[in-house]
């Protein structure tokens, strides 16, 4: 993203010339810390009633949608409602995000970006659907540029992108390489697997255990982890079948996903729980770490724990569990 | 394929100079429209009796084989039989294709191409096995060149290639990128997964549910769909076990494959059915599309259908079902 | 690896100038032939008692470990024990190898290489864990260089590398391309899947059937086979559950893996058996090959065997079975 690099340099020059005291707008949140995103809830951006309700729910991230959840003739209304909501409504401990239309839907996406980048309260987090090429992220970067100079340079807009086509999956590596470039005006933090669009794109049909998605889901997890990003699993569309939702959530967590999309309030708690370490797991992690620290200081090579030989990988896993437990404890 | 580009330009010049009325040969079919390839049936190219029988069967595509199905000392005979058959035999609504020997078996493949490109009736569709490198497709292009100038430039030979080794799978992206280059003298339309050769190549053993092939099969589907190609699934070698054939066909269709290889007439109907949308699915698609069109015109964001929220992806899937139903209806 | 190429050329010059009779050190084994590596057993490098025991076991390859199996304050002791063992201990028909620390643990890996490359008996086979980049192999090459000139140029050090992170898996193709470069001072022969580190790295949790590893395991098999390398499957950590070990070993073998890591003597025989062709399979292969040779000489296209049509791929598989049977027969 060579072009972006010079844009960024120019942005920095503008900031320098204008001074930092010109800041007139603010992000909805300037919290730069780690966001757990176990549950990602969609709300149609033009549905004020549902948005109000969502503000009191327990989803880790609430997505005010301008894309698939909003009919074409309601897009303008959705933008207005969302701009207003961002400026006036508190969502408690939930992160609030906006999903714009896909970059390929150029006019819609442009109107989205023009609206939200000029709002009094700019969304902290943007979701960009149907990313298929690195150039889609360059487009986003260009649209952030005009507002970047008015914001603190150390606070970047958080970006979450969607893989929802065969092409997006094949190009994922180059998309992520472009996405994590430090010169970007955004911080790429997560990838969402848009499974329903993906099904339509590859002409597949959902089965009960979704084995036809194994390649796509595991490929996404591996790409995300190689680039240090969160991986957010497919939506469970049948929101009445909470048993299957639970199974699918646990399966996703075991696969390495860090969260899951939800489309109904009843799905939130089940998903949050599945993507949190269990009390038993936390206890196991604490004890294993303690055993490791004791035996390691005594110079014993192969650590023994509960009758099994334990190697460094498992010790690391235990440390990871404790970190995640701490991050979601306050919720 | 830069070299190919100039070859093509030269071919176009030759066509211009010679005029289009020098056309002396013809493709077996000049139909440029979409071919469903649900069932792909192999017949040894030297077995006239089986070929005659196949001409009255219901396979979407009949492959007259010069490769693995024909012993080394019968290759010449197979070429002669096939040339004659192409010129004299009607296969009804079935597409007729020829599988040549692999490009790496250079002498055999060369004799195949020399024979078929000089036949009075040139095969409409070529199958190229064991493709492992983009250069294999350049080789094919070079061999088509001498005949290309004698044919209508708007009618290209249809190409179907096989992935049947670890290397072919790893190189699939670059193979397809080369294959869909518009300057090629062929139209790449489908990829076949040669599972038995693939098993031998990676030293794997077939299990009942073929889970050891999940990566390969899903990788092929995703590559094909990213490049707009048909994906044709593995053969079910035990042609007496029709129950398992049915299961495996349905599984393949759900995974996104558009067809399946068959080696016995009894397999055709089962496979055709599995890769056709069911009447219920077509009905579902019609109703969903109707609901979408009605509610969309009323400006309702989240479409509701049979008690579930329906998003754009599912609407697209419904449209796809109707397209496929239309394409296979006349068969 | 352009830099490596000149290093190699320089090494060859040095050999030429010094003459080959300066050879003062030797590899533990100069056997250049094919090593089956069905079972790969780890022994902590500082545990002399276990090492002595391992020398009489039936593992195809015994790994004297300097990495995860040895506490930080015992690394030096492990190096000394291993150097002594290599010089004094026979392991019968087992190959002996040394696992150094990861290249990213630069000081430890450097001390490992300094020690072992200057031992009187240099390890025949090195295992390098946590390979994530092609440059890790260049580092190894540089460390071999000083000793390469003192050894017969036709005998190269055998290298086995580990994939145990998302990044290592994503970069596997470029790692292997660099690894099989003929100018290297080592022969890359196998890739080991370090599943426990991999779990920790991607934040996944092991389930009974390990389906969350399907992508990684099959991706590794395919990469290995495309580059002509052995693929060594994950360890079964619960060394008391021999039934599950057997299932998992058979599954790995069917997937195309050529061997499996073991951490306990009781695991060896089960693993060796799973990765050897069964007597029935060998018998099947012999009969199929015989049928093929007879019918082929009679010019019959589609070979028939035990009531099924048999194609070339299956014939090849049968030949492979016979080759493997021969290689492990003497053990």
B183-206 tens-digit pLDDT: 999 999 999 999 988 998 898 989
Question: What is the ipTM, given to two decimal places?
Answer: 0.84
Domain membership of residue C28 (yes or no) is no
For residue C160, being part of any structural domain is answered with yes
Do residues A251 and A104 share a domain?
yes
* pLDDT above 90 as % of chain B: 62
Q: Does a structural domain hold residue B2?
A: no
User: Please, what is the Cα angle at C53 between C49 and C54, to 5 degrees?
Assistant: 115
pLDDT of residue C42: 96
Going from the C-alpha of A265 to that of each of A273, B305, B310, B314, the distances in angstroms are 14, 19, 17, 21
Indicate if A284 and A304 belong to the same structural domain: yes
Q: Say whether residue A222 is in contact with chain B using an 8 A CB cutoff.
A: no
Q: The domain that contains C166 carries what CATH number?
A: 3.20.20.60
Residues B179 and B301 in one domain: no
Averaged pLDDT, C215-229: 96
Answer whether A215 sits within 8 Å of B222, measured CB to CB: yes
Nearest to A162 by CA among A214, A198, A138: A198
pLDDT at A148 (0 to 100)? 79
% of chain C surpassing 90 pLDDT? 62
Does any domain span residue B27?
A: no
Tokens linked to A73:
């003739």
Active site (annotated) includes residue A209: no
Neighbours of chain B (3+ CB pairs under 8 A): A, C
Q: Are residues C149 and C266 in the same domain?
A: yes
Q: What is the pTM of this model?
A: 0.86
Q: Tell me which chain C residue has its CA closest to the CA of residue B204.
A: C256
- Residue of chain C with shortest Cα separation from A251: C212
User: A129 pLDDT exceeds 70?
Assistant: yes
CA distance B54 to B43: 8
pLDDT number for residue B30: 45
Residue A20: pLDDT band with limits 50, 70, 90 = very low
Eight-state DSSP code of residue B328: H
Q: What is the CA radius of gyration of chain A?
A: 21
Burial class (CB in 10 A: 0-12, 13-18, 19+), B145: middle
B238 touching chain C per CB within 8 A: yes
The pLDDT value recorded for residue A138 is 97
* Beta-bridge mates of residue B24: none
Please give the Cα distance from A131 to A64 (Å, whole number): 18
Question: Which two tokens mark B61?
Answer: 């595509």
d(CA A260, CA A248): 10
Which residues, listed in sequence order, are joined to residue A303 by a DSSP beta bridge?
Answer: A310
Q: Is the pLDDT of residue C230 over 50?
A: yes
pLDDT recorded at residue A36: 85
User: A149-161, pLDDT tens digit by residue?
Assistant: 777 767 789 999 9
Q: Are residues B254 and B289 in the same domain?
A: no
Q: Which of C240, C255, C275 is the last residue of a domain?
A: C275
Output the pLDDT for position B324. 73
Residue B26 counted as domain residue: no
Task: Establish, for the pair of chains A and C, how many residue pairs have beta carbons separated by less than 8 Å.
Answer: 88
Residues in chain A closer than 8 A to C69 (CB atoms)? 301-302, 311
Question: Tell me: the pLDDT tens digits for C90-128?
Answer: 998 899 999 999 998 888 999 999 999 998 899 999 999
Residue B53 lies in a domain: yes
What residues make up the domain containing A289?
7-20+279-330
Chain C partners within 8 Å of B68 (Cβ): 311-313
C251, C275, C299: which is the final residue of a domain? C275
Nearest to A313 among C71, C200, C215 (CB): C200
Q: Report DSSP state, residue A69.
A: T
Q: What is the pLDDT of residues A200-242, one digit of tens each?
A: 889 898 998 899 999 999 999 999 999 989 999 999 989 999 9
Cα(A122)–Cα(A108) distance, integer angstroms: 18
User: Which of B256, B275, B294 finishes a domain?
Assistant: B275
Beta strands A308-310 and A303-305 are antiparallel
Whether A207 and chain B come into contact, CB under 8 Å, resolves to yes
Q: What are phi and psi of C135, to 5 degrees?
A: -65, -20
Q: How much is the average pLDDT of B53-68? A: 94
Is B12 inside any structural domain?
yes
Active-site positions of C? 311
CA-CA distances (angstroms) from residue A269 to A57, A190, A245, A255?
10, 21, 11, 20
Same domain, yes or no, for C40 and C189?
A: yes
Q: Which of B301, B308, B314 sits opposite A46 (nearest CB)?
A: B301
Nearest alpha carbon to residue A20 among A149, A145, A146: A149
In this complex, the chains that touch C, judged by 3 or more CB pairs closer than 8 A, are: A, B
| Chain A positions in Cβ-Cβ contact with residue C194 (cut-off 8 Å) | 313
How far away is chain A from the Cα of B87, in angstroms, using its nearest Cα? 36
Is B119 found in the same domain as B14? no
Q: How far apart are CA A53 and CA A327, in angstroms?
A: 25
Give B16's contacts (C-beta < 8 A, 6+ positions apart): none
Give yes or no: residues A169 and A242 share one domain.
yes
pLDDT band at residue C22 under the 50/70/90 scheme: very low
Interchain contact C328–B (C-beta under 8 A): no
Same domain, A117 and A159: yes
Is the same domain home to B124 and B144?
A: yes
C92 contacts: CB under 8 Å, gap ≥ 6: C55, C56
CB contact under 8 A, A313 and C196: yes
Residues of B tagged active-site? 311
Q: Does C258 touch chain B (CB under 8 A)?
A: yes
Quote the pLDDT of residue C34.
64
Q: Does A49 touch chain B (CB under 8 A)?
A: no
For the stretch C121-180, pLDDT in tens is: 999 999 999 999 999 999 999 999 888 777 776 778 999 999 999 999 999 999 999 999
**Is C133 among the domain residues?**
yes
C-beta atoms of B200 and C296 within 8 A: no
Is the domain of A289 the same as that of A268? no
Output the pLDDT for position C309: 57
Which chain A residue's Cα is nearest to C66? Answer: A301
- Tell me the average pLDDT across B291-312: 73
- Do A197 and A292 share a domain, yes or no? no
Say how many domains are in chain B.
Answer: 2
The rounded distance, in Å, linking the Cα atoms of B19 and B16 is 5
Residues of C in contact with A215 (CB under 8 A): 215
């Amino acid at each position: 993203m060579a072009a972006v690099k010079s844009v960024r340099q120019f942005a920095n020059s503008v900031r320098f010339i204008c001074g930092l005291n010109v800041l007139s707008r603010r992000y909805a949140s300037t919290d730069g810390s780690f966001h757990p995103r176990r549950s990602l809830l969609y709300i149609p951006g033009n549905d004020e009633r549902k948005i109000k309700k969502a503000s009191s729910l327990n989803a880790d991230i609430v997505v005010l949608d301008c894309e698939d959840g909003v009919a074409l003739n309601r897009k303008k209304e959705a933008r207005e409602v969302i701009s207003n909501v961002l400026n006036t409504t508190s969502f408690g401990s939930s992160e609030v995000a906006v999903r714009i239309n896909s970059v390929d839907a150029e006019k819609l996406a442009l109107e989205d970006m023009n609206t939200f980048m000029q709002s009094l309260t700019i969304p902290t987090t943007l979701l960009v659907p149907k990313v298929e090429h690195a150039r889609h992220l360059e487009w986003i970067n260009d649209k952030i540029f005009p507002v970047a100079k008015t914001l603190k340079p150390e606070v970047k807009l958080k970006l979450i992108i969607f893989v929802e086509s065969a092409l997006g999956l094949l190009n994922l590596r180059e998309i992520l390489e472009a996405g994590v470039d430090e010169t970007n005006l955004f911080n790429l933090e997560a990838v969402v697997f848009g499974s329903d669009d993906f099904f339509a794109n590859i002409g597949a049909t959902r089965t009960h255990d979704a084995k036809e998605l194994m390649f796509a889901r595991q490929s996404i997890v591996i790409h995300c982890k190689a680039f240090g990003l969160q991986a957010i699993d497919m939506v469970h569309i049948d929101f009445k079948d909470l048993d299957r939702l639970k199974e699918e959530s646990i399966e996703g967590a075991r696969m390495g996903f860090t969260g899951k999309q939800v489309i109904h309030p009843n799905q939130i708690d089940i998903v949050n729980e599945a993507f949190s370490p269990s009390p038993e797991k936390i206890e196991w992690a604490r004890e294993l770490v303690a055993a490791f620290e004791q035996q390691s200081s005594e110079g014993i090579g192969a650590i023994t724990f509960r009758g099994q030989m334990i190697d460094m990988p498992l010790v690391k896993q235990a440390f990871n569990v404790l970190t995640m437990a701490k991050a979601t404890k306050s919720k």
